[in-house]
Amino acid sequence: MRFSITKKPYFLTCLKTAFVDLHSRICYNQELMAKTTKTIRKKQTKKSSSSVAKVRSKKAFRTYKDAIKYLSGKINYENEKYLRYNTKTFSINRMKKLLTLLGNPHKKIHTVHIAGTKGKGSTATMLARMLEANDYSVGLYTSPHVVCLHERIAVNSKDIDESQMLGLMNRIYAPVEKLSKTESPSFFEIMTALSFMHFADEKVDIAIIETGLGGRLDSTNVIKPKVVGITSLSIDHQNQLGETIESIAKEKAGIFKAGVPIITVKQTPEAMNVLKTHALDTKAPLSVTGNDIDFSYRFETSREQGPHTRICLTTPTSKFEHIKVPLPGKHQAINCGLALAMLDKLKSSGYNKIDDEKTAIGLSNVWLPGRMEIICQYPRVMIDAAHNAASIKALIHAIGQNTPYDSMVVIFGCNQDKDIKGMLEQLQYGADKVIFTRSNSPRAMSPIELGDMFSKISSKMYQTASSLGEALMLAKSAVGKEDLICITGSFYLIGQAKTRLQPQ
């Protein structure tokens, strides 16, 4: 029997419908899975990016060079031509805010504080070396540097390295930026904070902290030290600290703290009166080497050790006899006496491991760049950081005692905010010829102006040079084998000289 299919059988229709429905479901599920996978990937990427961003924000600087570029971009009052000395420019409150954001690292370390006009760096370094020789871990913060910024921060005679500096800069970046929204920390404030951080990281037993400018408004004046040292006071930084020795002494005395012992050296009567008054006002005991503390020094020479100075210092707890001063000059003997007296004072503050023999060994290891340092032998070139009238006088005297020469040519350059007339008056007593030049400091005095001022003071020969290179050429053409070239007047100038003649 034949029949024609005009309609599809029912079971075929059902089968087709089921197949279409299954295909639709599979496509839908595949599309859904694709969308879900895309969303998950998107979220993972977003999370991953967020994580990377977080890591990157923690490290503001990838390289040391980037970190130093950022630091150098901060206002540096050491380079400012016109500097206002007030609580806005030099703000202790701003410094305290920065340190609070950093967790107050200065409160995690014991310190010694040193202020004064000249000899701060020498005194601080001698004290640090003596403590190190007595098996203490010692931090040392000084300024300015001669060649490298890292000279300013050291632990156990080792300057901070690039890796450590980079790490600290990455940690300090966010607090600096946060504070900068209202008031921006200066270069010196950041450097001071970095030193406190480094010393806390290294868990030093004690840190020797030298003030930068003055004392009262200095950013280091946030510490409560074990002992305070005041080196010799004289006229310097008159535009900021005042024209008189009394006003300068007042600024230095601004670091006195209640109950914290102060050691100083013999000062002019005017300066000493100010120090004594402030010590009484702050209820801080004041001692003076050569007065309250038995101290003496003498210059001698021997075939084995050549010309040198020896000192004696006696207290109820220490007796240092005929100790050789590691640095030349009467002024360094006075600095050494101050360092020994401060060391003795630390004995009564818990530092009872101090031994007199070890102390003498520590002193013998003292060396400082830029302090009567010979940086070239042919011709003989000496550099010294003397940068005020009193230190130029001390330098001329020390060279006369310790360095034999036939004739001395002085290459001199200084900054505008110094006692220039006082320095030039002292130069005439030691220099056979003077060559005036300028350093790379924005505050450098013009060589022509220096020459004009000198001609009114002295009839000695002088020349001017627009650069240190030109000054060295003139000096070399004027000296013989037994002569001496002395470069002085500014940290900037001697730093340039050391870099030029000792490029390593």
Over residues 62-90, the pLDDT tens digits come to 999 999 999 999 988 777 666 677 677 88
Tokens of 305: 């050790």
Q: How would residue 418 be classed by pLDDT, with cut points 50, 70 and 90? A: confident
Grouping H, G, I as helix, E, B as strand and the rest as coil, residue 256 is coil
How are the residues of the chain apportioned to helix, strand and coil, as percentages rounded to the nearest 5? Answer: 45, 15, 35
Q: Give me the sign of the Cα torsion angle 425, 431, 432, 435.
A: negative
Q: Find the range with the poorest average confidence among 12-21, 186-195, 370-379, 419-428.
A: 12-21
Q: How would residue 239 be classed by pLDDT, with cut points 50, 70 and 90? A: low
Q: How would residue 329 be classed by pLDDT, with cut points 50, 70 and 90? A: very high
Contacts of residues 68-72 at CB distance under 8 Å and 24 or more positions apart, as own/partner, are 68/149, 68/165, 68/169, 70/169, 70/173, 71/169, 71/187, 71/190, 71/191, 72/187
Grouping H, G, I as helix, E, B as strand and the rest as coil, residue 134 is coil
- Would you say 323 and 312 are in contact if contact means Cβ atoms under 8 Å apart? yes
Flag whether pLDDT at 488 surpasses 80.
Answer: yes
Q: How would residue 49 be classed by pLDDT, with cut points 50, 70 and 90? A: very low
List the beta strands (DSSP E) in 283-335.
286-288, 294-302, 306-314, 319-324
Rg, Å, the chain Cα set: 33
Mean pLDDT for the stretch of residues 28-34: 49
Name which residue leads in pLDDT, 109 or 51.
109
Flag whether pLDDT at 244 surpasses 80.
Answer: yes
Average pLDDT, the chain: 88
For the chain, the domains span: 9-58, 67-364, 373-501
Q: What is the pLDDT of residues 140-185, one digit of tens each?
A: 999 999 999 999 999 999 999 999 999 999 999 999 999 999 999 9
- Would you say 208 and 115 are in contact if contact means Cβ atoms under 8 Å apart? no
Nearest by Cα to 485 from 407, 419, 426: 407
Dist CA 354 CA 344 (whole Å):
8
CB neighbour burial string for 148-184, b if at least 16 within 10 angstroms, e if fewer: ebebbbbbeeebbeeebbbbbbbbbbebbeebeeeee
Mean pLDDT for the stretch of residues 402-411: 96
Flag whether pLDDT at 21 surpasses 80.
Answer: no
Q: What is the pLDDT of residues 79-125, one digit of tens each?
A: 766 667 767 788 999 999 999 999 999 999 999 999 999 999 999 99
Mean pLDDT for the stretch of residues 291-302: 94
67-364 CATH: 3.40.1190.10
Dist CA 111 CA 205 (whole Å):
9
Residue 308 phi/psi, 5-degree rounding, is -165, 170
Mean pLDDT for the stretch of residues 296-321: 92
Cβ atoms within 10 Å of 380's Cβ, excluding its own: 18
Flag whether pLDDT at 46 surpasses 60.
Answer: no
Same fold, 67-364 and 373-501: no
Tokens of 456: 């009114």
Cβ within 8 Å of residue 285, ≥6 positions away? 261, 262, 279
Flag whether pLDDT at 51 surpasses 70.
Answer: no
pLDDT of residue 39: 47
Mean pLDDT for the stretch of residues 412-431: 92
Tokens of 206: 């004690």
Dist CA 380 CA 357 (whole Å):
35
Tokens of 34: 């694709």
List the beta strands (DSSP E) in 325-416.
373-376, 381-384, 408-412
pLDDT above 70 as % of the chain: 86
Q: How would residue 216 be classed by pLDDT, with cut points 50, 70 and 90? A: very high
CATH class entry, domain 373-501: alpha beta
pLDDT above 90 as % of the chain: 76
Dist CA 411 CA 390 (whole Å):
18
Q: How would residue 50 be classed by pLDDT, with cut points 50, 70 and 90? A: very low
pLDDT of residue 195: 98
